[in-house]
Amino acid sequence: MRSDIRPGAIFPDYELPDQTGTRRKLSEIQGGDPMILVLARGHYCPKDRRQLRNLVELYPEIRVAYTKIVTISTDHPPRDERAARRPRALAWPFLSDPGPRSSSGTSTSPSTPTRTHNPMIPYTFVLAPGLRIHSMYNGYWYWGRPSNEELRRDLREVTRAIRPDWDLGAPGLRERPGSGDAREEVLALRALAPRGPRRSRLMTSPPTARRPAPPGGVDPPVGHTGGVLRPDGPASQGSRAMPATRDRAVPDGAYFPGPLFWQAHRSPDAPRSPATSGLTQPPIHARAALELHRRSRDVDASRAFLRSIYPRLVAAHESLDRRRDPRGIGLPAIVHPWESGLDNSPVWDRILAGISIEPGQLPRYQRCDLVHARPEDRPTDRAYDVFVYLASRYRDVGYDDRRMTEVSPFLVVGPLFVAIHLWSTHALAEIARIVGADPRPHVEAAERIHAALLDQLWDPVHGRFAVRDLVRDALVEEETIVSFAPLLDPELPSAIVASLVTELESACFHPSSAVHFIVPTTSLESAGFDRRRYWRGPVWLNTNWLLEAALRQHGRHELADEIAATSLALVERSGFHECFDPLSGAGYGSADFGWTAALAIDFARRVMGASPSLVAGG
Distance CA 453, CA 418 (A): 8
Distance CA 254, CA 260 (A): 12
Rg (CA), the chain: 26
* Sequence-separated (6 or more) residues with CB below 8 Å from residue 83: 52, 90
- Which H helix or E strand runs over 128? strand 123-128
In three-state secondary structure terms, 154 is helix
CA-based nearest residue to 249, from 178, 177, 174:
174
* Sequence-separated (6 or more) residues with CB below 8 Å from residue 556: 497, 501
Distance CA 31, CA 29 (A): 6
Task: Find the catalytic residue in 343, 477, 562, 592.
Answer: 343
Q: Give the Cβ contact number of residue 270 at 10 Å.
A: 19
Instruction: Tell me the residue length of the chain.
Output: 618
Task: Find the catalytic residue in 175, 578, 581, 602.
Answer: 578
Q: Give the Cβ contact number of residue 448 at 10 Å.
A: 14
The amino acid that residue 148 corresponds to is: N
Distance CA 347, CA 349 (A): 6
In three-state secondary structure terms, 483 is helix
CA-based nearest residue to 413, from 325, 485, 488, 283:
325
Burial letters for 51-78: b for 16+ Cβ neighbours within 10 Å, e otherwise? bbeebeebbeebeeebbbbbbbbbbebb
In three-state secondary structure terms, 289 is helix
Q: Which residues pair with 249 in a beta bridge?
A: 174
Give Cα separations from 78 to 22, 126, 377, 430, 588 (angstroms).
12, 21, 31, 58, 26
Contact 576, 569 (CB under 8 A): no
- Answer yes or no: 578 catalytic: yes
Q: What is the tally of helices (H) and strands (E) in the chain?
A: 18, 18
DSSP 54: H
In three-state secondary structure terms, 416 is helix
Distance CA 376, CA 373 (A): 8
Contact 147, 50 (CB under 8 A): no
Sheet containing 412-413: give its strands across: 412-413, 467-469, 474-476
- Answer yes or no: 291 catalytic: no
* Sequence-separated (6 or more) residues with CB below 8 Å from residue 203: 194, 296, 298, 301, 302, 304, 305
Q: Give the Cβ contact number of residue 356 at 10 Å.
A: 9
Q: Any idea which residues carry the catalytic annotation?
A: 343, 578
